[in-house]
Amino acid sequence: MSGFRILVGCKRVIDYAVKVRVKPDKTGVVTEGVKHSMNPFDEIAVEEAVRMKEKKLASEIIAVSCGPQQCQETLRTALAMGVDRAIHVITEPKEYESMQPIHVSKILSKIATEEKADLVIVGKQAIDDDCNQTGQMTASLLDWPQATFASKIEKSNGDLSVMREIDGGLETIKVKVPAVLTSDLRLNEPRYATLPNIMKAKKKPLVTKKPSDYGVDITPRQEIVSVEDPPVRQAGQKVESVEELVTKLKEAGLV
Amino acid sequence: MATLASVFSKGTRLGKRVKYLCWHGGKYCSSVATPKITTHYTVHPRENDPRWKEVDMERFGDEADVLIVGGGPAGLSAACKLKLLANEQGKDLRVCLVEKAAEIGGHTLSGACIEPRSLEELFPNWREMGAPLKTEVKEDKFSYLTEKARIPIPVLPGMPMSNHGNYIVRLGNVVRWLGEQAEALGVEIYPGYAASEVLFHEDGSVKGIATNDVGIHKDGSPKETFERGMELHAKVTIFSEGCHGHLAKQLYKKFDLRKDCEPQTYGIGFKELWEIDPALHQPGKVEHTIGWPFDNNTYGGTFLYHLDEGPLIVVGIVVGLDYKNPYLSPFREFQRFKHHPSIEPLFRTGKRIGYGARALNEGGVQSIPKLTFPGGCLIGCSPGFMNVPKIKGTHNAMKSGMLAAESVFDLVTDEEKVSQSPTAGLEPVKYEENLKNSWLWKELHSVRNVRPSFNTSLGTVGGVIYTGLFYWIMRGKEPWTLHHGGPDNAKLKPAKECKVIDYPRPDGVVSFDLLTSVALTGTNHDHDQPAHLTLMDDSVPVNHNLAIYDGPEQRFCPAGVYEYVELEDGSGKRLQINAQNCIHCKTCDIKDPSQNINWVCPQGGEGPAYNGM
Predicted pLDDT of residue A101? 95
> What predicted TM-score, i.e. pTM, was given to this entire model?
0.90
Contact A195 B190 (CB under 8 A): yes
Question: DSSP character for B204?
Answer: S
Q: How confident is the model at residue A60 (pLDDT cuts 50, 70, 90)?
A: very high
Catalytic residue among B557, B574, B587, B594: B557
B348 labelled catalytic: no
DSSP single-letter state for residue B501: P
- Here the ipTM equals 0.87
* Minimal CA separation from A183 to chain B, in Å: 19
Average pLDDT over residues B17-44: 59
Assess whether pLDDT exceeds 60 at residue B23. no
Whether residue B1 is predicted with pLDDT greater than 80 in this model: the reply is no
| Domain spans of chain A, in order of start | 4-251
Å between B68 CA and nearest CA of chain A: 15
* DSSP H or E segment with residue A79: helix A71-81
Q: What is the pLDDT of residue B25?
A: 40
**Proportion of chain A above pLDDT 70, given as a percent:** 99
Cα distances from B491 to residues A1, B148, B264, B597, in angstroms, run 69, 30, 13, 17
**Stretch B124-144: mean pLDDT, rounded?**
94
Q: How far does Cα B420 stand from its chain's mean position?
A: 36
- Is the minimum CB–CB distance between A140 and chain B shorter than 8 Å? no
Please state the rounded mean pLDDT for residues A169-184: 96
CA distance A107 to chain B (A): 29
CB atoms within 10 A of CB B31: 11
Q: Is A24 within 8 Å of chain B by CB? A: yes
Range list of β-strands (E), B404-443: none
Active-site residue flag, B394: yes
Is the pLDDT score of B59 beyond 50?
yes
Residues A102-131 have pLDDT tens digits of 999 999 999 999 999 999 999 999 999 999
DSSP label of B504: P
Question: How many Cβ atoms sit within 10 Å of the Cβ of residue B353?
Answer: 15
pLDDT tier at B33, thresholds 50, 70, 90: low
pLDDT value, residue B31: 42
pLDDT confidence of A140, banded at 50, 70, 90? very high
pLDDT tens across B84-93, in order?
A: 999 999 999 9
Please report the pLDDT score of residue B296 as a whole number: 84
How confident is residue B14, by pLDDT bands cut at 50, 70 and 90? very low
What pLDDT, in 10s, does the model give residues B565-602?
A: 998 888 889 999 999 999 999 999 999 999 999 999 99
pLDDT tens-digit profile of B487-496? Answer: 999 999 999 9
| Per-residue model confidence (pLDDT) at position B485 | 85
- Identify whether the C-beta of residue A47 lies closer than 8 Å to the C-beta of residue A189: yes
B523 touches chain A (CB under 8 A): yes
Q: Tell me which of B171, B213, B227 to substitute to probe the interface with A (most A C-beta atoms closer than 10 Å).
A: B227
Of the candidates B589, B512, B50, the residue with the CA atom closest to the CA atom of residue B358? B589
Q: B351: which strand partners?
A: B275
Rounded mean pLDDT of B18-37? Answer: 48
pLDDT (average), residues A142-170: 93
Out of A234-238, B339-343, B518-522, B589-593, pick the least confident.
A234-238
The CATH class given to the A4-251 domain equals: alpha beta
Write out pLDDT tens, residues B532-559: 999 999 999 999 999 999 999 999 999 9
pLDDT confidence of residue B487: 92
